[in-house]
């Protein structure tokens, strides 16, 4: 059990580091590349992005190790600890620091997700579902993704980043369910798995999900995308598990706890989306300015870290570019 906990925490830290590197690389790409496969092609030439993807892959292995040694209700909340690592690192990388509002938002999201996972605790159902049920479920999820992306394209700033992340979360939740559906074909051999539609649908959703994640990273700071992604992906996976695999979730007081967890997540997202620090990061990323250039917008309140100059006066730490 100790190994499972350590592996889960290491996976959370790895996902955080990988996300920071990917977002930092994606934020340098022009806005016109969003939702285009050109974005992935160009990022493929960026060493920071490739390192971030590599760290994420290692983290998936650590997550699989943790799940093989410990229960989902223990491992998944620990994976969510990536928020506690990623947000401070990403904000500091931009030459700023998190205040009480940002810490509270990150803590609310992480705690809310942990409570939600522990409360729902889905129990195994059937191993597969009829194709007709898959068509209906994937059509609904796909339609929601298209709708969210369409709305996101009409928005600017943090709203666009968050909506793209929601779309990515829906796709990655679908991917998790499809991946589960590939287990049975693989048990009967590689050839049967290759002949089935589940494996190819998993690959398609994985690629589209990756594109949406990077588009969300390109559109805004990590604090505007990672919370939505971490909240939506497991929620969709749980819903599809209930609908398609007839998994059972706890009822009674557990539903009250799950509701409290959802409320905490929403509170955290609101705190971060309306944070002056995050708005400052958003403007700096989109206008190629230093983060210090947005100080006047907040009544002279300095959300940035400082360093001492030779004359003893504090000067702003350079921003992202």
Enumerate residues 6+ apart whose C-beta is below 8 A from 46: 25, 28
pLDDT reported for residue 281: 75
DSSP string for 240-286: HHHHHH--B---THHHHHHHHHHHHHHHHHHHHHT-HHHHHHHHHHH
Tokens representing 227? 């919370």
Cα separation, 110 vs 278, in Å, equals 18
pLDDT value for 170: 93
Q: What is residue 293's predicted lDDT score, i.e. its pLDDT?
A: 54
Return the SS3 of 126: coil
* 10-residue averages of pLDDT along the chain (321 residues): 82 88 89 90 94 92 78 66 78 78 85 77 68 90 94 85 92 84 71 77 90 91 84 82 76 74 84 79 64 48 42 36 35
d(CA 201, CA 139): 13
* 72 C-beta neighbours (distance < 10 Å), count: 15
pLDDT at 316: 36
Amino acid 40: pLDDT = 92
Q: What residue ranges do the domains of the chain occupy?
A: 2-291
Cβ–Cβ under 8 Å, residues 182 and 176: no
pTM of the full predicted structure?
Answer: 0.77
Among candidates 6, 14, 213, 238, which has minimal Cα distance to 141? 238
């Amino acid at each position: 059990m100790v190994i499972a906990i350590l592996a889960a925490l290491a996976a959370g830290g790895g996902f955080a580091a990988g996300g920071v590197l990917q977002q930092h690389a994606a934020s340098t790409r022009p806005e016109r590349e969003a939702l285009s496969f050109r974005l992935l092609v160009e990022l493929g030439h960026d060493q920071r992005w490739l390192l971030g993807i590599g760290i994420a892959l290692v983290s998936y292995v650590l997550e699989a190790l943790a799940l093989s040694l410990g229960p989902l209700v223990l491992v998944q909340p620990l994976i969510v600890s990536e928020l506690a690592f990623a947000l401070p690192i990403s904000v500091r990388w931009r030459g700023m620091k998190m205040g009480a509002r940002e810490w509270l938002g990150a803590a609310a999201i992480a705690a809310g997700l942990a409570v939600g996972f522990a409360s729902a605790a889905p129990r195994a159902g059937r191993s597969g579902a009829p194709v007709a049920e898959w068509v209906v479920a994937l059509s609904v999820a796909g339609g929601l993704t298209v709708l969210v992306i369409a709305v996101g394209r009409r928005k600017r700033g943090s709203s666009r980043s968050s909506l793209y992340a929601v779309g990515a979360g829906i796709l990655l939740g679908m991917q998790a369910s499809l991946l589960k559906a590939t287990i049975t074909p693989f048990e009967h051999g590689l050839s049967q798995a290759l002949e089935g539609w589940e494996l190819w649908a998993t690959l398609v959703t994985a690629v589209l999900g990756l594109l949406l994640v990077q588009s969300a990273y390109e559109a805004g700071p990590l604090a505007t995308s990672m919370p939505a992604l971490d909240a939506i992906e497991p929620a969709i996976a749980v819903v599809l598990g209930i609908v398609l695999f007839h998994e059972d979730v706890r009822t009674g007081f557990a539903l009250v706890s799950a509701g409290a967890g959802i409320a905490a997540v929403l509170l955290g997202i609101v705190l971060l989306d309306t944070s002056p620090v995050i708005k400052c990061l958003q403007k700096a990323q989109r206008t190629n300015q230093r983060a210090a250039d947005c100080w006047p917008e907040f009544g002279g309140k300095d959300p940035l870290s400082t360093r001492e100059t030779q004359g003893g006066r504090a000067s702003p730490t350079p921003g992202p570019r």
